[in-house]
Structure 1
Amino acid sequence: MGGGAQSPSTDAHGETDGSGTVSATAGAVVYNRSKNGSGASVGPVAAATNWTPPACYYAPKYTPEQLQKVKEPVWEAESTGYQWDATQRDRYVNGKPYKDFNKEKAGEGYWWDSYVTPGREGDPGALDCKEEIFWVDTGDDPPADIPQAITPEVLAQLAYAEIRVPTTEVELRPAEATKVNLPTWAWLDATDFKPVSVTASVPLLQVEATTTAEPVSVKIDPGTADAQTYPASGVCEVANGRIGEPYANGKADETPPCGVKYLRSSGDGSYQLKATVTWKIHWTGTGVAGEQPLPDGDFGGEQDVVVQEIQAVNR
């Protein structure tokens, strides 16, 4: 889950018993990460805007009988106060708006309640789901005025948080140390930087969404103002399935399509070059025609670059 170890897997966090009765976690989201980035160097993308996936959501949690078993002991204990208990009894038992926990609709729907998105337990947003437990008939959409209720789009947003992409360390030539005023070529390994995806689903609802991230560019920040990037914007777009172009013998006099030229030595230290890849993110899901956009994601990494003065030989 979010913040935990990542591996290509399908993680289920809900199930039903043999009779189809919902368990206490059957509405929780199941993730298929078999096409996600993996390995020790991967990390989550961060939305380029201030948008974040939901830290909580609503999905099926109880049958009528299960909700009764949850609520009645609380009322009998009188630990929440007479007025609150009376209001709850009215809501779920006395027909305001539900009657007898909706037992007459047993097998025709579920009580929906909130879940905290795993990995977001300490997030203030985890407290945003404050709606009372509500009923949804099988086959019906959840109320439109509850934005965190599970839909294909919400599943796509939850899958966004599970996307993992490679750490961005660019290949440089010269590799060990570059020279002042020498164009340095930069590129990314095409085998690492390819589309990745995660599918999120709630099998009980027969609804799912797949979120896909595709690398589109890398932005080079040389780590000093005394440098010139190629191209001048420092943004290298994906071309022919790769970002940048590997250096090859005979190209020393050519301008690199992606790279940097340092104008001052790094002295006894090094510059911190940062390369940030932008990932274009989109999703598709149950009942949705075509690909739908989500905010672009960024993920970067820093690396040391030693820049030396070119030594002149006097005779």
Structure 2
Amino acid sequence: MPAVKRATHAFVLISLTGVACLLSPAVAYADKTPPGGGGIGASGNSTPGGTLSATAGGVVYDHSKNGSGSAVGPLTPVGNWTPPACWYAPKYSPAEFKAYVEPIWNADSTGSSWDASQRDRYVNGKPYTNFNLNKADKGYWWDSYVDKSFPPGWDACNKPYFWVDKGAPPPADVPEAITPEILAKLAYAEIRVPATQVTLKPDGATKVNLPTWAWLDKSDFHPVSVTASVPALNISATTTATPASLKLDPGTADATLFPASGECPINADGSIGTPYEAGSADKTPPCGVTYRRATNGTPYTLKATVTWKIRWTGTGNGGDDLPDGTFGQNQQVTVQEIQAVNR
């Protein structure tokens, strides 16, 4: 309940329609419907009663071009970069805002002084008058939203509710106000990429001093994207992750990587590495590993990590690179002590 959290962070006991409810100092979380069942929805259009359909944080996600299935996971950004912790976006129509805050004030549990200051601000013209009911369908009340990964009660965006006319920019002193760039960063956190189960040859078990070829087919590895939008503001951004390279970690120091860095670049056709062909057993693979010591009951853990290049495009010809992301998977490799190689 934002009106309370910005005052004392106290718990509030109020009665709505005859039922006593304990309201804690709440935060508008991105994955929850706004308190009172309202908020900005996909259409952004007011009903005759002035209520807007609800959605998460005013942000709508299109995951139709994202990675899918059980073998997908989120990217780990390279460096200390993280998606936005909180942001401001449209939340209430005038009628909906009035219906939400008046019961809080009438409960007289936040203190008469606080309640009076709120009535002055939103009802008595200091600076807003009567919840801006005379401006129905001409704008929205904005509030903060906190990323769902942050703990309850955390809120660095702690400005009071503010009004923004449709088509007008938010106040200049609100740097966290939703923009296409912020949408792009939120979409980054929604991206899911396929697991990096590389094809190995020999598969199952390889041999000491025998090159093991590794590759990823382009049909299994392709760009994915997520689009985030705020329909009420007619803004959107699409964040795209494109596979760029494969990094091999053999799981032991007794191994030689190809190339020596273990970094296998992406090929022109979108694949990584080269599939093994008969007769290539003694050739050097463009992407692979040669183990120099056999396993002794416990397989080596080969980790294959793909680096993804991230770029966004959005409303108003916006766009730029975002930090690379990585996603890896472990594979068990058994190495047998057989010196001879049959061709």
Q: TM-score, normalised by structure 1?
A: 0.88
Question: Aligned pair count?
Answer: 301
Inter-partner Cα distance in structure 2 for 1:123 and 1:160: 20
Question: Counterpart of 2:75?
Answer: 45
Counterparts in 2 of 1:116-135, with a 5 A limit?
A: 116-117=146-147, 120=148, 122-123=150-151, 127-135=155-163
2:293 alignment partner, SS class: coil
Question: Counterpart of 1:261?
Answer: 290
Among 179, 191, 194, the residue aligned to 1:163:
191
Q: Specify the code of the residue in structure 1 equivalent to 2:283.
A: E
Question: Counterpart of 1:299?
Answer: 327
Inter-partner Cα distance in structure 2 for 1:145 and 1:257: 54
Question: Counterpart of 1:35?
Answer: 65
Among 128, 131, 135, the residue aligned to 1:101:
131
Question: Counterpart of 2:262?
Answer: 234
CA 1:248–1:164 in 2, change beyond 3 Å: closer, same or farther? same
Q: Specify the code of the residue in structure 1 equivalent to 2:179.
A: T
Counterparts in 2 of 1:131-146, with a 5 A limit?
A: 131-146=159-174
Give structure 2 stretches of 5+ with no counterpart.
1-29, 32-39
Q: Residues 264-306 of structure 1, C-alpha deviation per residue, up to 9 Å, x if partnerless?
A: 11111101110111110111111124x4111111100001011
Inter-partner Cα distance in structure 2 for 1:36 and 1:97: 44
Among 216, 221, 241, the residue aligned to 1:193:
221
Dislocated runs of 4+, deviation >3 Å: 12-22, 121-126
CA 1:158–1:20 in 2, change beyond 3 Å: closer, same or farther? farther
CA 1:60–1:221 in 2, change beyond 3 Å: closer, same or farther? same
Q: Specify the code of the residue in structure 2 equivalent to 1:143.
A: P
State the Cα RMSD in Å. Answer: 2.4
Inter-partner Cα distance in structure 1 for 2:81 and 2:283: 41
Following superposition, the deviation at residue 248 of structure 1 comes to: 0.7
Q: Residues 161-213 of structure 1, C-alpha deviation per residue, up to 9 Å, x if partnerless?
A: 11111011111111011111211111112212101111111111111111100
Inter-partner Cα distance in structure 2 for 1:13 and 1:222: 49
Inter-partner Cα distance in structure 2 for 1:131 and 1:268: 61
Following superposition, the deviation at residue 149 of structure 1 comes to: 2.0
Question: Counterpart of 2:176?
Answer: 148
Following superposition, the deviation at residue 144 of structure 1 comes to: 4.1
Question: Counterpart of 2:309?
Answer: 280
Q: Is the 8 A contact 1:56 1:125 kept in 2?
A: no
Inter-partner Cα distance in structure 2 for 1:123 and 1:163: 22
Query: Kindly, what percent of the aligned residue pairs are identical?
Result: 61
